[in-house]
Chain A
Amino acid sequence: MERAKENFFIYADPRKCLGCKNCELACAIAHADCDLQTAVTQGLQLQPRNSVVQVDDMVMPIQCRQCEDAPCALACPTGAIYQENGFVKINEGNCVGCKVCAMVCPFGAIIVTKDINDKGNHRTKKGKARKCDLCFNRIQDNNEFSCACVEACPTKAIMLVDYESYRKKLIEERGKELVRAHTKTTA
């Protein structure tokens, strides 16, 4: 059987992040199917799935890391959260908005909120768990990712990480350093 590839995920380099929150705007817009001016003029209360956080001097957006052994999926009482084709997905039809996933997420990356188009009533508020879906709906015909936050970042701080090639690069770089150190000491 072919080994399953690890999930891609979004990572932001805090050394490059300016805290401008453009990724938040882009994320909210990307999940709403309209442009910024229209959304604001119509007073749509869009919800980004990432949040820019500041801790001491450091600032960066936090979003779902598409965990391989996702606590949210394990905790979900209705089985609405599951792994599929490299994504941690939420089946909103099964979600009851109980917030267990939000409580167990180590990154606070799950937001329980209603969709702008879902009108609640006295029986339900229609809140569902939502999180970064790597802009699944924007994946193009050629199967390429097109993450709104990555594209919106003015300092290129945000990247979509392919864990395998990231690790390979790391290994190569450290390997090169080790080789250089070794050559120096033997020379």
Chain B
Amino acid sequence: MSRRVTAAVLLAVTGLLAACGGGEPAAKAVVAGQPVYGGTLTYLEHQPPSCLYLPAAGFYPNGGLLNQLTDKLTWQNPETLAIEPWIATRWEVNKDATEYTFHLRDGVTFSDGSPLDASAVAANFDVYGKGSTELKLPPAEFVNNYERSEVVDARTVRFFFDKPSPGFLQGTSVIGAGLVSKKTISLPYEQQCQLKNVVGSGPFTVANQIVDKQIDLKARKDYNWAPPSSKHQGRAYLDEIKIIVTPEDNVRVGALTSGQADFVRYVQAYDEQTVKSAGFTLYAEPTRGVNNGLYLRPSNSILSDVKVRRALQKGTNIKEVVDTLFTPSYPVATSVLSHLAQGYTDLSKELVFDPDQANTLLDEAGWKRGADGVREKDGKKLELGVFVSLPQPLSKQTLELVAQQWARLGVKLEVRPGDAGTLAVDIKNAEKTAVSHGMVGRADQDVIKSHFHSANRDVILSEDEQLDRLLEEQSALADVARRNEKVAEIQRYVVEQGYAIPLFEEPQVYGGAPTVHGVSFEAVGRPSFYSVWKS
């Protein structure tokens, strides 16, 4: 419980508005009166959706769309992070978390009329768990140690794992675990990527699509299987949602404040004030995972020395970055994980800015300042490369500011813009890309494994067997308390090894018109428009 108290205090201190997801909009709905049916919501997206194969739904433009089209086996309450029933009305997990049995709700259908039954669920998770070579479908990162499924009867499905998989229950609630029809899941990758082939059981269906420009959704009249904990049941209030791709930041914000749009994603830090002062609602949703940060790669010949990595960590003024470029919607990181993440432990003492110690460490490591101020050792300059990370807000500005801070230490950070091709080639090369900038959101302990494990995202191009082992141990601990302890140990290890310079807890920031009520968000900040109504 103390973690939640700390969280509440931190929230108050940082003035983080609406961080509690579902809580705030619900309060608003009460103030604004009774919900009404009908109307169209105009939602402006920053980027067009990419491949819509469900395990790739994490990309926010995909998630904002697929969250309206698909339902999940379970519902993760964004406030308590508890896993609650949805399509599965109840479930049993054996003691060592190697066997999960789900009992499904009756009468749920996909929008093509086919039943959402045990065999459909089994077909989905067989693909998410193992992938399919012949259909070119990669497995999903939220399912670990999957072995097989068993259809017990039409309403009961059982999953078997070859090692404990305590993260699986939460895994069934994530955006990528959206359930699609048996027909969809048996298509090859290329086909599953296309919106027209995505058939879900969600409250909305696709009415019309202009590729890369606009997607019109319409409410499914017979939808009647919202999570039982939702106050709103039955069909969605809205008749229609128009998702319009609007890449320009100030066009999105201007369209919102001038009344041409109802809801927009990706309000930049510098636009937040415009939205607020126009009397519009700003939603800064936490992503509850590995923080936005710089990840230092030990396989780089300079960064192989832990002293250098620690020096860069100590010499980075995180607070200056956040104060200069961001707003209170972006809380300063206090660990590798967000303070709202599962298994978070406070390491703010370890992460205090200390340029003197940074300089000492670099001196100790044998890097001496050269004539141009850049440190040298054996004729080699202390120069490191990093790519601008396009999905991260103000990544270029962030990296340039860090480069200035590091320049004071005598370290040169080369910030590369990174066209997609160069990036794709060089990102896996620790010599050329010594540092990577990124984050990953998911409200489960497994998120830290996704980020660091050499077989997952592997942001630090890890050769550290101990780290891999710790991550695997964590993902196989069935006991929550012990698992959280292990996750805390990993965070401490990552910081002590200087693998991470956590910067801030990256939010998803949305703007909404005052006439829009009832917006809720899943645990990682993707909007759900099911309970939305317009006054």
Q: Do A and B actually bind? A: no
